[in-house]
Structure formats: C-alpha cells, structure tokens
Amino acid sequence: MAERRPYPSDLSDARWALIEPVLSGWRAERRRHALNIGRPPEHDLHEIMNAILYVDRNGVQWRCLPHDFPPWETVYGYFAKWQKDGAFARLTGMLRRLLRQTEGKHAEPSACVIDAQSIKTSTSVPAAGQGTDAAKKIVGRKRSIVTDTLGLLLAVLVTAASVQDSVAGTHLVDQVATAHPSVRKVWVDGSFHQHLVEHAARLGIDMEIVQRAPGAGGFTSLPKRWTVERTYGWLMFHRRLTRDYETL
C-alpha cells in the first residue's frame, strides 16, 4: 500500500487481518472464473476498504473521494461487486459469530428482535421508491431490521414507508428462517399483526408481541426493544451507502 497520512476511518492492521481472508478469497475466486486475459489487480484491497469506510464515515459522494485513495470508479466498482456477490453479508456474519463467542454465547443466535423505522428521503430519490407512513406522517422509506439479543444485525429490508410492518416482517421472518435456522424466538412490538405470529409459527419460530403499557404516551422503552435501539449505527451505515448508490 502506498504511504499516505491515515484517516480516522481507516481500518487498523489488526481489524484488517480479521476480514482480509474473506476479501482475498473473493478476489481469487473471481480470477479463477475469469478468462486469462487483462492485467492483474493493481489496487490493494485494504485501501479499497479504507476508501469505502471513508464514504461511510464522512457521507461524501463517491466522486468526492480524496485523490490519495484509488480512483473513485475503482472503489465504487469493488463496492458494487462486493454487495452483489454477498461479500458484505459474509463479513457481517463472520464478525457477528466472533463477537457472540467473545461474549460467551453460541456462534449462531437462538432469539432475535424485529423492528422498523420510517425515514424521510432526499429529493433525488425516485418517487416510485417512496411512500407515506400514515401513522407517523412520514413520506420516504422504511428500514426494517432483525437483530440478535446483542443488537447485532441479522437481516435488513428497505421498502417504501407505506409498506406495513407485518408485510415487511413476513419477508424478514422468511429470511431468518432460511439464513439462521437456529432462531426459535422473536420479539416484535404492537405494530406487527397476529397473522405474522401464525406465519412465524409455521416456520417453527415462537413470535411474541410486546405491547406498550396502557396509557403510555410518546417514546416508551419496551422489554427486549433495547436490542434494536443498539442497531442505529447499522441503519445509518446502510442509509449513507444506499443514498450515494442511488445518486451516483
């Protein structure tokens, strides 16, 4: 890697060592399936990831990457391919399993929480991808997520804000049942309907709707809900990357 002054968003060597085998394996696999033509890769994967994290931390457009990173077209190209090929999902899964084991838990979760958040979108987002959350009076999109009991991400679904929580929840429960068959318990709040409980039961998952206390007004912390609140950083990460992806 060419010498340059580090940015606060750069991965340390220790953190890079954790994820390097996944990304190096991805590059090697692609080259095995490619024709034996063209130049070999000239950019360091560590520096590519540093550039992606710079976009995430600072909220800049891809075209605004500092010139001491690889060309923005190259960085975005890697980001798009890693997203399409599931490299980010593999990294998330690997780090989640490591952290769970560090916390004294089984590598795979047995319980999770589903929650949703409606947000306003920028004027550059196509109207066809937006909707109105009538309950919260928000025009934009809805981010629905699943986390384990440590607040670590298991699944994400981005829809128009008009999509009901139970509809998005159905897709998320299906994802969890397929990708995390060890999950047997899930908590949701009162915005999810009974038919979703029945759908989860058919998949072997016990879903519990945690109700707000009678007469409670404004924000109220619900039992188990704290695990979702800890994933706010994940939601912001997804929001910043997808925002620039759409406006490229």
3-state secondary structure 209-248: EECCCCCCCCCCCCCCCHHHHCCHHHHHHHHHHHHHHHHC
Low-confidence ranges of the chain (pLDDT < 50): 1, 219, 224-248
Those residues whose C-beta lies under 8 Å from the C-beta of residue 124, and which sit 6 or more positions away, are: 246, 247
Residue 70 sits in the same domain as residue 181: no
3-state helix, strand, coil in the chain (%, to 5): 45, 15, 35
The pTM (predicted TM-score) of the whole model is: 0.73
User: Parallel, antiparallel, or unpaired for β 138-148 and 131-133?
Assistant: antiparallel
Residue 129 sits in the same domain as residue 223: yes
40-45: long-range contacts, CB 8 A cutoff, minimum separation 24: 43/70, 43/74, 44/1, 45/20, 45/78
Q: What is the pLDDT of residue 214?
A: 58
Residue 77 sits in the same domain as residue 114: no
Is 94 among the domain residues?
no
Instruction: Say how far apart CA 61 and CA 79 lie, in whole Å.
Output: 13
Residue 239 sits in the same domain as residue 122: yes
Full domain range(s) for residue 142: 108-247
Q: Is the dihedral of CA 17, 41, 66, 241 positive or negative?
A: negative
Residue 53 sits in the same domain as residue 157: no
Q: What is the pLDDT of residue 46?
A: 96
Q: Which of 111, 119, 175 is nearest to 143 (CA)?
A: 119
Q: Which of 172, 114, 163 is nearest to 134 (CA)?
A: 163
Give the amino acid at 86. Answer: G
Those residues whose C-beta lies under 8 Å from the C-beta of residue 120, and which sit 6 or more positions away, are: 138, 139, 140
